Structure 1
């Protein structure tokens, strides 16, 4: 009997598919509904390189978590305002995150906009935010201004996602100082890999000087194309360098993302059966399973 069990276990192990990261592909369970909401865990989506999928990931991860009955606040912290536009919000003539940064007495609820996605709210941004770094440079404790804003909103949400701009300036430091965790979207391309060490170094400095509780929630491989040797080699090197910090979920490259952005809806609504939508639902389940989200 013992030999039979061993043989069955071996066969089962051999039958388990291997994911793109080279590890057995797990099926993360559907998160149970929460009995109550809050306080939020704050996660910054950060990478100083542009075009790696930060905004796409913020939008679709937020929508996926909202679909699993989590109350989500997405903070557009990029002057380009791509997150706002990607959720169909026009950030003109309305309060934005810039107003909250420069006016410490303003109620943060003034800038919260309900999206068309149930359970998902947004604090929008526009080009005004580009002036914030200059205006805040002489402020006392300027690195903690966003933290003070989000502290007033955290009790009402389960997770707050901050879409950072592609730089390591004062705005990004504010986001890291306000956050409990960092999620790093990483394009499967050689030059994207080069900058990760600098970003990790910045996170370590923030941990040492400003926010000792910040954690690395993971690196998310994006724009992965299994047909190219380059994508596969870059992902292999990322796993070699960062091990279990690399999330098992991998986001593939597809034209569905820009199509969804033009429509102003998450891909989980635009093409819910598409592999990319399923990947973001899986990412949400993985982050819950890893304890990064309640």
Structure 2
């Protein structure tokens, strides 16, 4: 069975898509079969993986509405993982899903026929607690929460945790927090260190030891349609995501043993 992980945080600008794309690349480098599902109408994970989102059809919308299968819509990218692409058309899903039976389970149902082809399925969620995010949380086994170590980043965390608990108590009993990831971390900032200590106190072992730093090459890579591992293998951003992939694999190995 694959590990299906939703990467979610309703606050934008915390490194959610950067985490999804580069973790997918890091896991692929570790010889894991990875599917990245772009569930954000902005389609940034799609373009960051090297796919022209404007020409991407069929895509996530057609999969959710049943007009295409996931097997037909996915594409393999040079970084070594598969992508279910998204674009602005996915905005319509917020309305269309309300008119469809089993609207919370559309993604989980679509994954069923192909899920065993992968070791990992990573779902890039939109920055909102809407029906698209509910589909991700219903399909996933766990949630990875990227957190920028700033005050406002903490404000919406309780709402996300409440939503995870609501889904776990109803539609998806096994859902849990996979881990919390400190992203865009600046060790020179007192606030970053203070927030990091709060996260450590609250989440304990669920806080990843790996920290994703602010890094210019990491910020540049999406404009070239590449994960940072393929854009600049030697930069600190690449090292951080390889380390994160390794930490995740070790955690899962320990749980399985």
Q: Which residue of 2 aligns with 1:260?
A: 221
Residues matched between the structures, number: 254
Q: Is the 8 A contact 2:4 2:120 kept in 1?
A: yes
Q: Distance in 2 between matches of 1:180 and 1:96?
A: 23
Kept after mapping to 1: 8 A contact 2:215/2:236: no
1:193 and 1:238 in contact (8 A); partners too: no
Confirm whether residue 86 of structure 1 aligns to residue 48 of structure 2: yes
Match of 1:71 among 30, 33, 38: 33
**Local SS of the residue matching 1:165:** coil
| Cα distance between partner residues in 2 of 1:56 and 1:152 | 28
Q: Does 1:100 align with 2:63?
A: yes
Would you say the 8 A contact 2:94–2:132 is kept in 1?
A: yes
Alignment partner, residue 289 of structure 1: 250
Normalised by the length of structure 1, the TM-score is 0.84
1:15-47: per-residue Cα shift (whole Å, max 9, x none)? Answer: xxxxxxxxxxxxxxxxxxxxxxxx321100000
The structural deviation recorded for 1:138 is: 2.3
Distance 2:213 2:69 in 1: 40
Q: Gapped runs of 5+ residues in structure 1?
A: 1-38
Q: Which residue in 1 is equivalent to 2:131? A: 170
**Counterpart in the other structure of 1:213:** 174
Summarize deviations over 1:50-100 as a string: whole Å, max 9, x none: 000010000100000000000100001000000011011012342101011
1:133 offset after TM fit, Å? 1.2
The CA RMSD measured in Å over matched residues stands at 1.4
- DSSP-derived class of the 2:53 partner: coil
Structure number with the higher helix fraction is: 2
Work out the CA distance in 1 between the residues paired with 2:151 and 2:113: 40
- Structure 2 stretches lacking a partner, 5+ long: none
The residue matched to 1:137 in structure 2 has which SS?
Answer: helix
Structure with bigger gyration radius: 1
Match of 2:112 among 110, 127, 151: 151
